[in-house]
Chain A
Amino acid sequence: EPEVTQTPSHQVTQMGQEVILRCVPISNHLYFYWYRQILGQKVEFLVSFYNNEISEKSEIFDDQFSVERPDGSNFTLKIRSTKLEDSAMYFCASSKGQRRGETQYFGPGTRLLVL
């Protein structure tokens, strides 16, 4: 069964450094998403992406964040200058469309720790 994959599974970085989290969505999906989950808290929406542009973003997704689809398979989340509070699990998700029945499927996540 096709699945969303994410790399790396874990990343440790120093405050102020740039990180790039990578995702390979399900191959016939057209909509891509990033969510984050701070330890012990609920999953929060960051951004959605379709047709090579951001379609919606939350208040969390400020100027430090950017997303890109650099080729036909990868979808990346970049955090330009990491802060301690960026430590969280970051989940990528994808969906075929946005109509009923076209639900989002999540990857296993990248655990980011900012020191």
Chain B
Amino acid sequence: GQQLNQSPQSMFIQEGEDVSMNCTSSSIFNTWLWYKQEPGEGPVLLIALYKAGELTSNGRLTAQFGITRKDSFLNISASIPSDVGIYFCAGDNAGNMLTFGGGTRLMVKP
């Protein structure tokens, strides 16, 4: 099946730093999604990308849909302690089944 490779697996940063994480795939996706998961919770949608090359922001978060449709990145600017969690990318083709990356665990030191 389709696989998404997400990197880095984990990051430990200082509050106020910017963060960048990315996702690559060997196959094309028509939609890229970024979710955040906190302990004991389900994934919460952060940003959805629908068009190759699209750059979308949601507050301090910015994500881009790669031109080849095989990759996406998520940036978080000026990180704060509540940004802590696991960030997952997910690809969607048919709208029926999401394929998730392995996640990036973000830890922020106050």
Interface residues of A (CB under 8 A from B): 4, 31, 33, 35, 41-45, 48, 55-56, 58, 91, 93, 95, 97-109, 111
A98 to B103 Cα, complex, angstroms: 24
Give min CB distance, A75 to chain B, whole Å: 15
Measured between beta carbons, the chain B residues less than 8 angstroms from A33 are 97
Say yes or no: A109-B41 contact (C-beta < 8 A), given A45-B98, A100-B31: yes
A108 touches B42 (CB 8 A): yes
Of the stretches B11-19, B44-52, B57-65, B70-78, the one at the interface is B44-52
Measured between beta carbons, the chain A residues less than 8 angstroms from B31 are 100
Residue of B nearest to A111 (CB): B40
B42 touches A44 (CB 8 A): no
Q: Count contacts on B: residues with CB < 8 A to the other chain.
A: 24
A65 to B104 Cα, complex, angstroms: 30
Question: How many A-B residue pairs lie within 8 Å, measured between CB atoms?
Answer: 60
Contact residue among B45, B96, B99, B100 (Cβ-Cβ distance under 8 Å from A48): B96
Measured between beta carbons, the chain A residues less than 8 angstroms from B45 are 103-105
Decide if B88 is an interface residue (CB 8 Å cutoff).
yes
A102 to B68 Cα, complex, angstroms: 23
Contact residue among A31, A42, A103, A111 (Cβ-Cβ distance under 8 Å from B100): A42
B42 touches A109 (CB 8 A): yes
Contact residue among B90, B95, B102 (Cβ-Cβ distance under 8 Å from A98): B95
Contact residue among B44, B95, B103 (Cβ-Cβ distance under 8 Å from A42): B103
Say yes or no: A98-B43 contact (C-beta < 8 A), given A44-B100, A103-B48: no
